[in-house]
């Protein structure tokens, strides 16, 4: 039977973001960082979320010191790719173009971003040069 992909709820993602920013942290350090952005969680809540992330293989811990030190075992980019893939599959019938169209219509781009998108689309739609075949 195929193993289900790891899911990361928003609460766990908030904890992971702290680890990505800090590269490593104790429960207390994660708690302090989260409080700075308005999360009023308890120490036990943060410890539980870190434990869940470790069980999923998303973070690792060094338990050689009195306070465990946690590090991310997955990059932000990897999580972004998985979340976007899931979004495309669940809401856009597996068609990434539908997501792109939705984003472009509902979220304005600045000039630089629009230029980058245009260049990518131009590259994707170039016809092969028949003289180079």
Q: Is residue 131 part of a domain?
A: no
Pair 59, 88 in one domain: no
Contact 70, 23 (CB under 8 A): no
**Token pair 């952005």 in the structure block, residue:** 37
pLDDT higher than threshold 90 for residue 2: no
pTM metric for this prediction? 0.77
Pair 67, 80 in one domain: no
Q: Is residue 29 part of a domain?
A: yes
pLDDT, residue 7, reads: 86
Residue 70 carries which DSSP code?
A: E
Pair 54, 88 in one domain: no
Pair 62, 18 in one domain: yes
* Angle of the 96-106 helix axis to the 76-91 helix axis, nearest 10: 100
Q: Is residue 1 part of a domain?
A: no
Residues spanned by the domain of 35: 10-72
pLDDT higher than threshold 60 for residue 20: yes
Pair 21, 33 in one domain: yes
pLDDT higher than threshold 50 for residue 1: no
**Token pair 């193993």 in the structure block, residue:** 3
Could you read off the pLDDT of 84-105 as tens digits, one per residue? Answer: 999 999 999 999 999 999 999 9
pLDDT, residue 122, reads: 92
Question: Rounded to 10 degrees, what is the CA torsion of 58, 63, 69, 71?
Answer: -30
Structural domains of the chain, count: 2
Output the CA–CA distances (angstroms, integers) from residue 103 to 79, 89, 110, 123, in the order listed: 19, 16, 13, 20
What is the distance between the alpha carbons of residues 39 and 46, in angstroms, rounded to a whole number?
A: 10
The fraction of the chain above a pLDDT of 70, given in percent, is 91
């Amino acid at each position: 039977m195929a193993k289900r992909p790891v899911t990361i709820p928003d609460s766990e993602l908030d904890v992971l973001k702290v680890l990505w920013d800090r590269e490593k942290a104790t429960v207390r350090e994660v708690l302090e960082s989260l409080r700075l952005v308005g999360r009023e969680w308890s120490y036990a809540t943060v410890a539980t979320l870190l434990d869940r992330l470790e069980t999923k293989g998303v973070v690792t811990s060094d338990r050689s010191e009195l306070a465990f030190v946690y590090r991310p075992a997955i990059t932000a980019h990897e999580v972004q790719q998985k979340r976007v893939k899931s979004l495309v599959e669940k809401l856009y019938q597996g068609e990434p173009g539908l997501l792109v169209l939705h984003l472009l219509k509902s979220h304005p781009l600045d000039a630089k971003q629009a230029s980058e998108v245009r260049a990518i689309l131009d590259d994707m739609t170039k016809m092969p040069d028949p003289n180079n075949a």
